[in-house]
Amino acid sequence: MDFDIKTKNIDLTDAIRSAVDEKMAKLAALVDRFGESVSAEVEVGKTTGHHQKGPFFRAEVHVRLPNKLVYADADHEDMYIAIREARDKAMRQIKDFRDLLDKSRKGLSPDIGEFDRSAELDDEGGLE
């Protein structure tokens, strides 16, 4: 998976680039099944230039899958934690989408899910 790294109100240092590469490797492994059509953007930066306290680092992850756009963001005092939280949110959405695709391929309705196997049939094929 190819991904672009953008920054806002900060410079893109080697440390930031390597941290994003490390965090996104886990995400890349999750989307391998979708092939080469997957692209992603990661944006990290400060929300403002004047805050000294509070969650002023922000990370955003945009992943384009076939028929799905995943968007996740996180704010935190620590930029690296914000990157991790945004990645985790994106991974959750991708897993949900993947499970939805798997259910539809198996012929199950994604809204209904699996049928209840606890019901027993009588000799005539009806429910007891």
pLDDT digits (tens, 9 = 90+) for 7-45: 998 899 999 999 999 999 888 888 888 888 888 999 999
Q: Is 65 domain-assigned?
A: yes
Task: Say yes or no to pLDDT of 114 above 60.
Answer: no
pLDDT at position 110 is 53
pLDDT level of residue 102 (50, 70, 90 thresholds): confident
The whole domain housing 53 covers 2-105
Q: Is 128 domain-assigned?
A: no
Work out the widest C-alpha separation in the chain, in whole angstroms: 76
| Tens of pLDDT, residues 40-90 | 999 999 887 666 666 789 999 999 998 889 999 999 989 999 999 999 999
Q: Is 123 domain-assigned?
A: no
Q: Is 91 domain-assigned?
A: yes
Burial of 72 (0-12, 13-18, 19+ CB in 10 A): buried
Q: Is 51 domain-assigned?
A: yes
CATH of the domain at 6: 3.30.160.100
Task: Say yes or no to pLDDT of 96 above 50.
Answer: yes
Q: Is 38 domain-assigned?
A: yes
Q: Is 84 domain-assigned?
A: yes
Q: Is 113 domain-assigned?
A: no
The total of structural domains in the chain comes to 1
